[in-house]
Chains A and B, each alone.
Chain A
Amino acid sequence: MPRFRQPSVLPGFGLTLGFTLAYLGFIVFIPLALGFAQAFELSFAEFWRTVTAPRVVASYQLTFGAAFLAAAFNALLGLIVAWVLVRYSFPGKRLVDALVDLPFALPTAVAGITLATLYSSNGWIGQYFKLLGIKVAFTPLGVVVALVFISLPFVVRTVQPVLEDLEPEVEEAAASLGANRWQIFRRVIFPALRPALLTGFTLAFARAVGEYGSVIFIAGNLPMVSEITSLLIVSKLEQYDYRGAAAVSVVLLVLSFLLLLVINLLQRWGRIRQGWEQAS
């Protein structure tokens, strides 16, 4: 019979593993299992009606659509920020580098009220958008703005270390073989950054789907228009519709797990294809 663990002279395996499992069990798994058991007290027809009501479907579209847009926007801008921070020097660079993590440290409610104030039609930034005829706060666009803010550090922080570790010799070799700068970026640098970029995108997307605090202040929360799924869960809860809230939560969790799975598979597929190209 294979042994559960390999022998070791170090003590404390039973104690630490036991504590770890007990702690996770009481804090995470038991609440998760018992909580979601409530969603399945609904009959299948009721469950289906709850999770496919037009207002709920509209909230999925907004939540996943806005999260996707925000993550894609951050993938592009985050790549540029990481590039600038690693490759160029400018005054105040270390301060800028440190401040990139601000969205991780700043409470989301603070971000929410600040962005709502700045992007409202008489706010510092919103007034200029108003001149262009664009309303940001209290529209779906406001949701995207809040999600861009809270997921900003992910792409920068995943791409930055990879960029730092790139060997300059590879680029120099490409240049000496006659490649121009754009070709070097596209053929040499970008393929090396792609896995980190996709990881950053995935983390940003996952965070954005579950975000609540920063969004509710700037969204306006109009049902069918600018109401995110997390808010819908809260309002069901406030109406004591516990099973409905649990049902929508199950769908939100399952949808986000499925999307993350698809992204991971895409990434693996990309790696295999890349391997093929290199082999042939």
Chain B
Amino acid sequence: MSQATRVTPQASAEPVWVRRTLLTVALLFLTLFLFIPLLAVFYEALRKGLGVYLAAVIDPYALAAIRLTLLSAAIAVPLNLLFGVAAAWAIAKFEFHGKSVLITLIDLPFAVSPVIAGLLYVLLFGAHGWLGPWLGAHDLQIIFAVPGIVLATVFVTVPFVARELIPLLQAQGSEEEEAALVLGASGWLTFWRITLPNMQWGLLYGVVLCTARAMGEFGAVSVVSGHIRGLTNTLPLHVEILYNEYQFAAAFACASLLTLLALVMLALKVAIERRAVRQRQAALAVEAP
């Protein structure tokens, strides 16, 4: 048979025409919905020439938007990393009541529409919100300012690291940590020398997913931002403004930066997955004899 990777007996393989049809349908679908859009971003960005592209990217408003996007990711990712490690330690290493409820609650931000997440902070900190009058009296601004954007970004990315680490640490158990403690290592030393190396790939994987989402978030950030150019615009919001002003080439130029970032994240994800698989296989090979 023509299958190269697996030796399959004739009886349990599909007829050739079925195989060709399925392959064609799958690739046609992915071409229409993935590959053409991916190419189109770069085509539209470069359509008016490299000069227009570069001008759009080094425009002061675009640079300010890039800075804000990096800033909010630089705050949101470490916070959620710390949260993810703490939550995974508490949940995976100890048995306590209400654990499954806690795991469900950590996933809650995934179930809440991003727009609603943004709305919650407006209801809380906006001029007409619960704390609005108090914040106004003390000259503090959260909504339509940078703190609101950071908060919204943190909210939508809360579960990413925790979600990768909890099942990983649960699967690994705590025998190694217990052995280290019994031999006299301190809690911190055990964490740094045993737990952290064991979970490094899962941790990186979670960080990659968290970063991709933090830099690309649109709905939640859009609600709290107020769209003030140069001050509260993130890069995705800047893309929206340019597009709505019919500056298509500039919009796609900025969009192409975000697309490149997405491609880098995908490449990192694949590389990390491969490393994690190799580490697991190495661990199994050590245990086997």
Contact = CB atoms under 8 A, between A and B. Distances in A.
Interface of A: 2, 4-6, 8-13, 15-17, 19-20, 23-24, 27-32, 34-35, 38, 77, 80-81, 83-85, 87-90, 96, 98-111, 113-115, 117-118, 124-125, 148-149, 152, 168, 171-172, 174-176, 181, 184, 206, 209-213, 217, 230, 233-234, 237, 240, 242, 245-246, 249, 252-253, 256-257, 260
Q: For chain A, what secondary structure do more than half of its interface residues adopt (helix, strand, loop), or is it mixed?
A: helix
Q: For chain B, what secondary structure do more than half of its interface residues adopt (helix, strand, loop), or is it mixed?
A: helix
A89 B6 CA distance: 9
B105 A24 contact: yes
A204 to B, nearest CB: 13
Size bracket of the B interface: 35 or more
B236 A172 contact: no
Interface stretch (B34-42, B50-58, B280-288): B34-42
B72 to A, nearest CB: 13
Contacts of B270: 98
B120 interface: yes
A20 B86 contact: yes
A77 B25 contact: yes
Given A107-B218, A172-B11, A175-B12, A99 B35 contact: yes
A90 B93 CA distance: 44
Nearest to A148: B33
Contact of B83 (A12, A19, A98): A19
Contact of A6 (B32, B94, B110): B94
B228 interface: no
A247 to B, nearest CB: 11
Given A8-B94, A106-B259, A84 B123 contact: no
A5 B255 contact: no
B181 A10 contact: yes
A120 to B, nearest CB: 11
Contacts of B277: none
Contacts of B13: 181
Interface in B78-128: 79, 82-83, 86-87, 89-91, 93-97, 102, 105-106, 108-116, 119-124, 126, 128
A71 B70 CA distance: 33
Contact of B86 (A19, A184, A213): A19
7 contacts: A5-B95, A88-B23, A106-B259, A152-B34, A212-B222, A242-B129, A256-B111
